[in-house]
Chains A and B, each alone.
Chain A
Amino acid sequence: MAAIELRNIVKVFSDKRRGRDLLTLDNINLDIETNDFVCLLGPSGCGKSTLLNIIAGFEQATSGRTLVGGRQVERPGSDRGVVFQQPTLMPWLTAIDNIAFHLKLKGVAKAERHHRAMEFIDLVGLRGFEHHHPSEMSGGMNQRVGIARALLMNPSVILMDEPFAALDAQTKLEMQEELVAIWQKRRCTIVFVTHSVDEALVLGNKIVVMTKRPGRIREAVNFDLPRPRDITSPEFNDAKRHILSLIREESTRLAQAS
């Protein structure tokens, strides 16, 4: 059984100002296997974030079925950890309390919460900063807290919506490497939304290329280059060329259509 099954997902937004409906996702069918690292790759406005929000339960599909672990998704829940584009931490809580927030909601005592959160503080390399507030840490550190917070819930899938988009190039590289290391160590299913071909190829073992509005799946590419991946290797470049050609084909098609 796949970890996530998307069946005929259609999402229509009603654009009230223009008085017409906007087809954002057009008949998406996708199976994501357990322990897959899937990258949803597509240009801005292709509906990849909408698709992620539907899996997270933040938004409802207009039609179609979304199953996570075989169960229909109806609302957000702690079986799906979400890492947002902005860290989205509670600014009044320290790093450790943000990471352990899920345990607090479940009524776990403070000592136990902190004890269990320390493991994740170490995992994302924030030892020494556990009592800092988000305003006292950098964007990259806050995003680590956001990742640790999602991991602590031990969810069956982790959904990431361009979490590194706001970081500088060097921090982004470090974070990508760490994310891969965490994924290898903890064996979890990750769905990662990105618009960067390189990021998708560095991270994913399955790259789902989406088309521009209305969002459809152009092709799901399996990419099993061993890690750590050498981004200058011929295999990497072959895959990149293939994906770029898919994207280019798409833009020529759009240009001809208009």
Chain B
Amino acid sequence: MTSVTDVSPARPAFRPTRAFQGLERLVVPALLIAGWEAFARSGMLPPALLPAPSAVLHALGDWVFGFDETTQTYSGHWLRDALASALRVFGGFALASLLGILAGVAIGWSRLFEKTLEPTLQMLRPIPPVSWIPLAIIWFGIADKPAIFLVFLGAFFPVLMNSIHGVKTVDHNLVRAGAMMGANGRQMLTDIVLPAALPSIFAGLRIAVGSAWMLTVTAEMVAVKSGLGYVLWDSYYFLRYDIVLAAMISIGLLGYLSDLGLKAIMARTLRWQQTTTVQGRAG
């Protein structure tokens, strides 16, 4: 007599488990760090010039938690430094987003603004924000203001360009549909053009937040006496490459987190937009 319990279910094809899927993205960084550690310990370069990852981690840990003062005056001050930089990024980015979207929508929507405003802005755009540093310092002194000004310059143009593009490329038929349903000029802008331009505006904001971090750090190297960029440059003068690297890692991490935050807001706002990839739908 055969028992039904003997029938074993077909073995499922091999699929990497969830835990393994998480791990595979760590393979390349882990190999890089291991190689770097091995190279640093081999003694081919003096440890002061190429600190091992373990030394960098040590410096970062002390900078954050202040356990053995290897980072001297910075020991335990990471949060203060990171916050100083983050506030400048936030201030400049917020200002740039507000004005960039306003000006971009105005230029994209109205021929008048396009003719009067755009040529001037487009002439200012190729000037590297960094080249404003001398002027920023004599105008605003050595403090938060020149840094915020620089961040603003770096973040404004990506937002502006993408807002103009977003408004200009709104499907003409959507505007017709709006007119057919009786939208007046203001409603056309707020209820049709603006939502339709949002994906493009968000693309601009994401580029802008990256530029914002770049310019905060640049400004802090020359025009401010606090923040992650200042620590980086100051440590370079004392040949503390471990702190330089720890600062670089901090900036990278915070920049990445800002982008993640922005992406989360974007995902909520643009829930209607199914992100399709060549391989099919995701999310």
* Residues in A lying within 8 Å of B, measured CB to CB: 56-58, 75-78, 80-82, 84, 86, 88-93, 101-102, 104-106, 133, 135-136, 149, 153
User: Given A91-B272, A91-B273, A136-B274, are A82 and B183 also a contact pair (CB < 8 Å)?
Assistant: no
Contact B181 A153 (CB under 8 A): yes
Q: What CA separation (Å) do A86 and B195 show in the bound complex?
A: 19
Closest A residue, CB atoms, query B192: A90
With a cutoff of 8 Å between Cβ atoms, the chain A residues found around residue B179 in the complex are 57-58, 75-76
Interface centre among A58, A78, A84, A92, by most B CB within 10 Å? Answer: A92
Closest A residue, CB atoms, query B179: A76
Q: Chain B: interface residue count, which band?
A: 20 to 34
Confirm or deny: B173 has a beta carbon within 8 angstroms of a beta carbon on chain A: yes
With a cutoff of 8 Å between Cβ atoms, the chain B residues found around residue A78 in the complex are 180-182
Contact A105 B187 (CB under 8 A): yes
Contact A102 B182 (CB under 8 A): yes
User: Given A56-B180, A76-B176, A84-B177, are A135 and B272 also a contact pair (CB < 8 Å)?
Assistant: yes
Closest A residue, CB atoms, query B183: A105
Confirm or deny: B171 has a beta carbon within 8 angstroms of a beta carbon on chain A: yes
Q: What CA separation (Å) do A77 and B181 show in the bound complex?
A: 6
Going nearest first, the 7 A-B pairs with the smallest beta carbon separation are: A76-B179, A78-B182, A102-B181, A92-B272, A88-B173, A133-B272, A135-B274
What is the distance, in angstroms, from A83's C-beta to the closest C-beta of chain B? Answer: 10
Confirm or deny: B124 has a beta carbon within 8 angstroms of a beta carbon on chain A: no
What is the distance, in angstroms, from B267's C-beta to the closest C-beta of chain A? Answer: 14
Confirm or deny: B191 has a beta carbon within 8 angstroms of a beta carbon on chain A: yes
Contact A84 B274 (CB under 8 A): no
* Residues in B lying within 8 Å of A, measured CB to CB: 171, 173-174, 176-184, 187, 191-192, 195-196, 198, 270, 272-274
Q: What CA separation (Å) do A203 and B178 show in the bound complex?
A: 27
Contact B174 A90 (CB under 8 A): yes
Closest A residue, CB atoms, query B274: A135
With a cutoff of 8 Å between Cβ atoms, the chain A residues found around residue B180 in the complex are 56, 76-78, 80-82
Taking a contact as CB atoms closer than 8 A, the residue among A88, A92, A104, A106 that contacts B177 in the complex is: A88
With a cutoff of 8 Å between Cβ atoms, the chain B residues found around residue A86 in the complex are 173
Contact A77 B182 (CB under 8 A): yes
With a cutoff of 8 Å between Cβ atoms, the chain A residues found around residue B270 in the complex are 92
With a cutoff of 8 Å between Cβ atoms, the chain A residues found around residue B171 in the complex are 88
A-B contact pairs, 28 of them (CB 8 A): A58-B176, A75-B179, A76-B180, A78-B180, A78-B182, A81-B180, A82-B176, A82-B180, A84-B173, A88-B171, A88-B173, A88-B174, A88-B177, A89-B177, A91-B273, A92-B196, A92-B198, A93-B272, A101-B181, A104-B191, A105-B178, A105-B181, A105-B191, A133-B272, A133-B274, A135-B273, A153-B181, A153-B182
With a cutoff of 8 Å between Cβ atoms, the chain B residues found around residue A77 in the complex are 180, 182
With a cutoff of 8 Å between Cβ atoms, the chain B residues found around residue A88 in the complex are 171, 173-174, 176-177
17 other A-B residue contacts (CB within 8 Å) besides A56-B180, A105-B178: A58-B179, A76-B176, A78-B180, A78-B182, A82-B176, A82-B177, A82-B180, A84-B176, A88-B174, A90-B196, A92-B196, A102-B181, A104-B191, A133-B272, A133-B274, A135-B273, A153-B181
